[in-house]
Amino acid sequence: MELFVRPGCALSHTVRIALRLKGLEYHVYPIDSLPERVRPVLPFHRVLAQTRTTPVLHDLHRTYIQSHAINEYLDEEYPEPVLLVGTARDRVQARSLIEIITTEILPLIDDRIESVPATWPADRAAGWRQHWLSRGCTVLEAMLADNPARGHFCHGDTPTLADCYLAPMVWAAEKYMLDLEPFPTIRAIQRACMALPEFAEVALEVDD
């Protein structure tokens, strides 16, 4: 199994964590090398490399894109341990949290997305990223604090798919020096995540 990434892609980190939680062996390669490492080479592979679209997972002779789609594929194809757990209500809660992170936070701070004009001074660019991180964390904190199914992790006392997304989002917040003091629930869940080698080892791998 091969995972193709680019530096600083937080959504790629979510797949690394999911793979480790499931105990699956994988190799990480830069997205530029996709056409050389995957056979047969398809026009699709060249487009992904050219646009630096990540994460990309190659498994069982097929290529998959988009972190949430990849992670749900992993949960269905390799169901132990299950990461999208609980009832339909629990799963919609997890998917909502994931969607906030993947659509309302990370795209607005990703270096590949030119949401921050290159002409802005460093302090203004940092303020932009902190604004969107803070706004997203405010929603996530309220969701998590009000969730009766929350335990040490986003759902219960074992890590789930939601935690695979929360941890890289917090790493991004720390990278851009967001004050996390107003978000005690997020901080508590992050401490639980970082106590596990599956999260701590990925954090060391992706540390820029």
Specify the CATH number for the domain of residue 130: 1.20.1050.10
Query: Which of these ranges, 33-42, 52-61, 112-121, 159-168, has the smallest mean pLDDT?
Result: 112-121
Q: What's the pLDDT at 14?
A: 97
pLDDT tens for each residue of 91-106: 999 999 999 999 999 8
Domain boundary among 77, 107, 134: 77
Same domain, 49 and 100: no
Which residues are registered as beta bridge partners of 156?
150
Same domain, 126 and 105: yes
Q: What's the pLDDT at 88?
A: 95
Specify the CATH number for the domain of residue 22: 3.40.30.10
Please, what is the average pLDDT of the chain?
91
Domain boundary among 50, 77, 104: 77
Q: Is the pLDDT of residue 81 over 70?
A: yes
pLDDT tens for each residue of 188-197: 999 999 999 9
Same domain, 49 and 150: no
Rounded-to-integer distance, Cα 15 and Cα 5, Å:
10
Which residue's structure tokens are 């003091």?
Answer: 181
Rounded-to-integer distance, Cα 36 and Cα 11, Å:
23
pLDDT grade for 35, boundaries at 50, 70 and 90? very high
pLDDT grade for 29, boundaries at 50, 70 and 90? very high
Whether 167 and 199 have beta carbons less than 8 Å apart is answered as yes
Same domain, 130 and 67: no
Same domain, 200 and 106: yes
Q: Between residues 120 and 205, which one has the greater pLDDT?
A: 205
Whether 10 and 199 have beta carbons less than 8 Å apart is answered as no
Residue 12, domain extent: 2-77
Which residues are registered as beta bridge partners of 28?
3
Same domain, 60 and 142: no
Q: What's the pLDDT at 158?
A: 96
Q: Is the pLDDT of residue 121 over 80?
A: no
Residue 66: how many other CB atoms lie within 10 Å: 17
DSSP 8-class letter at 160: -
Whether 173 and 137 have beta carbons less than 8 Å apart is answered as yes
pLDDT grade for 208, boundaries at 50, 70 and 90? very low
Q: What is the total count of domains within the chain?
A: 2
Mean pLDDT of 72-86: 96
Same domain, 117 and 177: yes
Rounded-to-integer distance, Cα 68 and Cα 91, Å:
13
Same domain, 42 and 72: yes
Both structure tokens of 27: 């190799």
